[in-house]
Amino acid sequence: MPADLTRKEPAELNIFEAEEVLAALAVEIAHHDERYHGQDDPEISDAEYDALRRRFDAIAERFPSIARTLAPSTAVGAAPATGFAKVTHSRPMLSLSNAFDAEEVAEFEARIRRFLSLAAEEPVELVAEPKIDGLSASLRYVNGRFVQGATRGDGTVGEDITRNLRTIDDIPNRLEGAPETLEIRGEVYMRKDDFRALNQAQESAGGKAFANPRNAAAGSLRQLDSTITARRKLRFFAYSWGEVTERPADTQAGFLDRLRGWGFQTNPLTRLCGSVDELLAQYTAIGEQRATLPYDIDGVVYKVNRLDWQDRLGMVSRAPRWAIAHKFPAEQAETILRAIDIQVGRTGALTPVARLEPVTVGGVVVSNATLHNEDEVRRKGVRVGDTVVIQRAGDVIPQVVRVIEEKRPATSVPFEFPSVCPCELKTAVTRLEGEAVRRCGGGLACPFQAVERLKHFVSRDAFDIEGLGEKQIQAFWQDGLVTQPGDIFRLKRHEAALKQREGWGEKSVDNLLAAIEERRTIGLDRMIYALGIRQVGQATARLLAANYGTLDAWRAAMLEAGKTPSGDDASAEKPNDALADLLNIDQIGMSVANDLIAFFAEEQTLDIVADLEEELDIQPFAVPVAGDSPVAGKTVVFTGTLATMGRSEAKARAESLGAKVAGSVSKKTDYVIVGADAGSKAAKAEALGVAILSEEEWTAMVDGT
């Protein structure tokens, strides 16, 4: 390509030049996608890659007709590296919630106490372990032999990397006296000195250096040729377990002892602590050694020591209630703010995003940071052209911390937050009282919101359609192939056209269509979550599904709840029955109810849902434990102080047995469980003739004793 073409602004290109440039960029982008996703070995920084993408998009915007046929491969995405078989973890590999300060650590401990209903003087022992910055792996031993090792993947399905893990000296091949089946989990990492030596060797051999030890470990572990892995110095710290045929210990500390007995390495900075103060002291002590440790760590993990308590505490979403990662403070850097772009989210919220001069923060190149909302921009006084301090903590989106005013260019002007949506419809944006964000009122007519909702619809916790990610949705939307969720299930009508698309082979289209077919049957809870209603996350979607059972019942109730009460009732002081039922679901308040009503009041909602019903087989919510629990399907209310467990534990237990937990007593309540000092709810139950149980009676009933 002539050099002057690579420099021309999009506006200066004629259609022939544009075609040439776009074609070249598409090839280049596809190449870097493959290096990044397929080989874990990027040749350019994220910032350089973004610049290529931006240039492609800018030209594509001017010449959409050519761009359509040239769009860079959308098929790569984060697809797993080919060549490794998939492994479904017999128990999911969890993630950890984070704490960023002492207060959050104290709250974590307090939550545990409340959940277990512990007396104030009862000590809670916790183990503090460094959080190793590597990659987690699960090692399966059967009769003491190492038979299979897998990456974490998405926590449910990982990749079989047994051959590569066998090359790591820290991973024993045989264990003496281990349970019949035993899965050991821990972190594969590379030491800092080994990382430096590897990079030197790579460079002198004309190869590419890795950005940090974690990337080097990832790249080494995902080699299809395990002789390459064998030459890389990888190590392993063990800290947890998955499936086991017999409990390996009574405490986390005891388990770590057993790990050492079997020949695993455990981290030497691990301590058993008896109080929050001790945890924090250990955090400080580890933090002080961080720079001089031979490997990278990014925080300290605290775990409840007693395993029977861990069992009772269980997990929320994908993280255990019994552990937390106390992260080290964010790393900061200075850079220049080049532009402030406005992004429109799924629910119409306008978010200002800082486009930055790329800068390395803690080993990662950062070129974008969030500015949260209008007030934040004003409070920080950020202007385009400013030198700003940015920070990045873990996997959290980088943030703009503050402006260095002394470095402000004289010509800069304050940022004006737009009063219309940046999409072509230019819908007016509004900011409701008490809300921090401005929202575009365009609903699904707004192309940004429409695309964001589609992205949400196919995301992991919603329809989870493999091979249909952000890039593909964007491309299909632009071409008019998918404009509403139901269209996804009609994509097979375009099979021939899809196979003609740049970057899509016969096989990838077949795979995509098969993945879509697999999701035609879906649970009501996932379906509700997938709709992307404001404030309706996974937990709320489950509650709604459990309470209404079927799509029909739920929709009818939401429409009914939205009917304004007539006459004197219009004050909304007295909600209609449907609304009262909705509000009676524990944890659903007026604000969520309003969002549900607003969603169903939106013009297209009923059409979209009806269209989906045509395409899908929506399964009524399955009560977790099939009918054999005496409380399955029953509505229960807890009131007063319970003696043997906290309110959240009682609720979690009841729900796991298929009961619905309501916040207040009504005719529909089946049981009211009264603890000490129960007040008006017990009285109301009595008045309505609802069965009242003591805590012991309830426990006897659910435990079947």
Closest residue to bound ligand IVH by CB: 136
- E strands present in 496-629: 521-523, 617-619
CB nearer to ligand IVH: give 101 or 607.
101
CB nearer to ligand IVH: give 72 or 80.
80
Question: What is d(CA 463, CA 520) in angstroms, rounded to the nearest whole number?
Answer: 9
Q: Smallest distance from the beta carbon of 278 to ligand IVH, in angstroms?
A: 17
565 within 8 A of 628, measured Cβ to Cβ: no
- Name every residue whose Cβ is closer than 8 Å to that of residue 1 and which is 6 or more positions away in sequence: 20, 21, 24
Question: What is d(CA 666, CA 573) in angstroms, rounded to the nearest whole number?
Answer: 18
Provide φ and ψ at 171, rounded to 5°: -100, 105
Positions that interact with ligand IVH (CB under 6 A): 94-96, 129, 131-132, 136, 152, 187, 239-240, 301, 320, 323, 325
Q: Smallest distance from the beta carbon of 253 to ligand IVH, in angstroms?
A: 13
Q: Smallest distance from the beta carbon of 94 to ligand IVH, in angstroms?
A: 4
Q: Smallest distance from the beta carbon of 318 to ligand IVH, in angstroms?
A: 9
**Residue 131 annotated as catalytic:** yes
Helix (H, G, I), strand (E, B) or coil at 181: strand
440 within 8 A of 429, measured Cβ to Cβ: yes
Q: Smallest distance from the beta carbon of 58 to ligand IVH, in angstroms?
A: 37
How open is the CA angle 449-453-454, to the nearest 5 degrees?
Answer: 120
CB nearer to ligand IVH: give 94 or 365.
94
Dihedral, 54, 55, 61, 63 alpha carbons, nearest 10: -160
513 within 8 A of 495, measured Cβ to Cβ: yes
How open is the CA angle 46-51-52, to the nearest 5 degrees?
Answer: 100
140 within 8 A of 149, measured Cβ to Cβ: yes
Q: Smallest distance from the beta carbon of 154 to ligand IVH, in angstroms?
A: 11
443 within 8 A of 450, measured Cβ to Cβ: no
CB nearer to ligand IVH: give 189 or 457.
189
Q: Six-digit token pair at 57? A: 């998009």
23 within 8 A of 70, measured Cβ to Cβ: yes
CB nearer to ligand IVH: give 188 or 421.
188
Distances (CA, A) of 424 to 55, 374, 444: 20, 21, 13
Q: Smallest distance from the beta carbon of 256 to ligand IVH, in angstroms?
A: 10
CB nearer to ligand IVH: give 239 or 448.
239
Question: What is d(CA 426, CA 156) in angstroms, rounded to the nearest whole number?
Answer: 42
Q: Smallest distance from the beta carbon of 306 to ligand IVH, in angstroms?
A: 15
Q: Which of 131, 303, 455, 681 is catalytic?
A: 131
Question: What is d(CA 357, CA 334) in angstroms, rounded to the nearest whole number?
Answer: 10
Helix (H, G, I), strand (E, B) or coil at 313: helix
CB nearer to ligand IVH: give 286 or 543.
286
Q: Smallest distance from the beta carbon of 152 to ligand IVH, in angstroms?
A: 6
Q: Smallest distance from the beta carbon of 116 to ligand IVH, in angstroms?
A: 18
CB nearer to ligand IVH: give 149 or 675.
149
Q: Which of 454, 459, 433 is nearest to 444 (CA)?
A: 454
CB nearer to ligand IVH: give 22 or 132.
132
Dihedral, 245, 249, 254, 259 alpha carbons, nearest 10: -10
Question: What is d(CA 465, CA 514) in angstroms, rounded to the nearest whole number?
Answer: 10
Question: What is d(CA 659, CA 627) in angstroms, rounded to the nearest whole number?
Answer: 11
Cβ burial, residue 367 (10 Å; 0-12/13-18/19+): buried
CB nearer to ligand IVH: give 94 or 230.
94
- Name every residue whose Cβ is closer than 8 Å to that of residue 374 and which is 6 or more positions away in sequence: 350, 352, 417, 431, 436, 437, 438
CB nearer to ligand IVH: give 273 or 531.
273
Question: What is d(CA 591, CA 534) in angstroms, rounded to the nearest whole number?
Answer: 10
Cβ burial, residue 662 (10 Å; 0-12/13-18/19+): buried
Q: Smallest distance from the beta carbon of 89 to ligand IVH, in angstroms?
A: 12
Helix (H, G, I), strand (E, B) or coil at 256: helix
Residue 335, CB-side half-sphere exposure with 13 Å CA sphere? 24
Residue positions annotated with a catalytic role: 131
